[in-house]
Amino acid sequence: MKILYLGDVIGRSGRDALVAHLPGLRRRLSPDLVVVNGENAAHGFGITPKICDELYAAGVDVLTLGNHSFDQREILGYIDSDPRLLRPLNYPAGTPGKGVGLYPVSRGRKVMVMQVMGRLFMDPLDDPFIAAERELAKVRLGGGGADAVIVDVHAEATSEKMALAHTLDGRVSLVVGSHSHIPTADTQILPGGTAYQSDAGMCGDYDSVIGMKKDAAIFKFVRKIPGERLSPADGIATLCGVMVETDDRSGLAQRVAPLRVGPRLVEAWPE
């Protein structure tokens, strides 16, 4: 099975690039499932129902969120009705939405997609390790309820992402980081057979400060006083992500490779 994961979509530029490129990526790479982090899709802060529909129409199967999950208030009344939209699993009990879903793909197979949010330098949510363990206890990878398991770790600290990946090694297909907006060069298959990359990078304009316009971001660092509100850079976006190919019997990774398509970063194709 082939699963394509694309990192944080940043504003209009990221959405436009995703809509433009994803149909061609689906034809060229033939993924069974496409998972996209959309938590910055609405002008850099959250997502709206209209944007969800736009991304689904472009070929996205599952959307994950993160620390900006509820920045757009209309998502509060929508998220419970959309099984393809996931917020971090370890939000407190009673938070709208869910953090895990089981999605059918071709030939009767099913893929579990899960998102947890880290706690180092982030909001102090419930323990992501315990939250992930609780959900994995309900299925067994490779024929025990899920033919593949994808875990999006929305976290600031690389150490926390790596620790979680090693904890889950051999029991999930892919652990991939989001939130940092910079693609890392540590794409690998861990000893137990789980694919890993610390951060998939963003789908946004890389002539920026992690997707935001440079001048306002630099002002905040240099002057340390309130200034212009951060807003997404609006140049042509580069799509970044990772593609994993799994073994049909075990659900573990056979191959993993980064994807980068766009004008600024060196391109990389999983083929």
How far apart are the C-alpha atoms of 11 and 232, rounded to whole Å? 6
CA angle 168, 174, 175 (to 5 degrees): 60
Beta bridge partners of 145: 140
Question: Which residues lie below 8 Å from residue 178, measured CB to CB, with a gap of 6+?
Answer: 7, 8, 37, 39, 64, 66, 152, 153, 154, 199, 200
68 is catalytic: yes
How far apart are the C-alpha atoms of 194 and 247, rounded to whole Å? 11
How far apart are the C-alpha atoms of 210 and 138, rounded to whole Å? 37
Q: Which of 21, 68, 154, 179 is catalytic?
A: 68
Residue count of the chain: 271
Running DSSP on this structure, what letter comes out for residue 73?
Answer: G
Give Dmax over CA atoms of the chain in angstroms: 57
For 133, phi then psi, to 5°, come to -60, -40
Question: Which residues lie below 8 Å from residue 72, measured CB to CB, with a gap of 6+?
Answer: 42, 45, 46, 47, 48
Residue 220 belongs to what H/E stretch? Answer: helix 214-223
How far apart are the C-alpha atoms of 43 and 230, rounded to whole Å? 10
User: Mind telling me the catalytic residues?
Assistant: 68
